[in-house]
C-alpha cells in the first residue's frame, strides 16, 4: 500500500508518495526535517539554495557513514562466520 507524506523543507511543502514496505516515509520525513532545522539554526540568514546544498551534503555524509559502518559490520560478521565454520569442522574432523 502506498504511503503519502508531507515534507516541510525551507518554507515549502512537498507531498511524497512511496510504496516500499521496508521504508517508513514518516521516519524519512522526520529525519530530513530534523536535519534541515538543525542546519538552518546553525546558518541563520543563509539563502535557501545554499541551505539546500548544506542539507543535501549533510544527508549524503550521513549515508556514506552508515554505508561504511554497514560494510564494517558485514565484514566482521563474515569473519565470525568463517571462524565458526572452522570450529565446527575441527569438531567434526572434516576439512572445509
- The mean pLDDT of the chain is 94
The pLDDT tens digits of the residues spanning 1-17 come to: 788 999 999 999 999 99
Per-residue pLDDT averaged across 32-48, rounded?
A: 96
Reported confidence tier of residue 95, pLDDT bands at 50, 70, 90:
low
Q: Is there a contact between 8 and 30 (Cβ–Cβ < 8 Å)?
A: no
Chain CA centroid to CA 93, Å: 43
What average pLDDT score do residues 21-45 get? 95
Among the listed residues 37, 28, 44, the one whose alpha carbon sits nearest the alpha carbon of residue 9? 37
36 or 92: which carries more pLDDT confidence? 36
pLDDT digits (tens, 9 = 90+) for 49-80: 999 999 999 999 999 999 999 999 999 999 99
Q: Which grid cell sits at 87?
A: 570450529
Using only C-alpha atoms, what is the Rg of the chain?
22
Number of domains the chain contains: 1
Residue-number span of the structural domain to which 67 is assigned: 3-92
Amino acid at each position: 500500500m502506498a504511503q503519502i507524506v508531507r515534507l516541510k523543507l525551507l518554507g515549502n511543502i512537498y507531498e511524497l508518495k512511496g510504496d516500499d514496505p521496508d521504508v517508513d516515509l514518516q521516519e524519512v520525513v522526520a529525519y530530513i526535517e530534523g536535519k534541515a532545522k538543525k542546519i538552518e539554526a546553525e546558518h541563520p540568514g543563509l539563502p535557501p539554495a545554499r541551505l539546500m546544498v548544506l542539507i543535501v551534503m549533510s544527508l549524503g555524509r550521513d549515508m556514506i557513514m552508515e554505508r561504511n559502518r554497514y560494510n564494517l559490520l558485514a565484514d566482521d560478521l563474515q569473519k565470525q562466520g568463517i571462524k565458526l565454520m572452522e570450529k565446527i569442522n575441527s569438531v567434526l574432523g572434516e576439512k572445509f
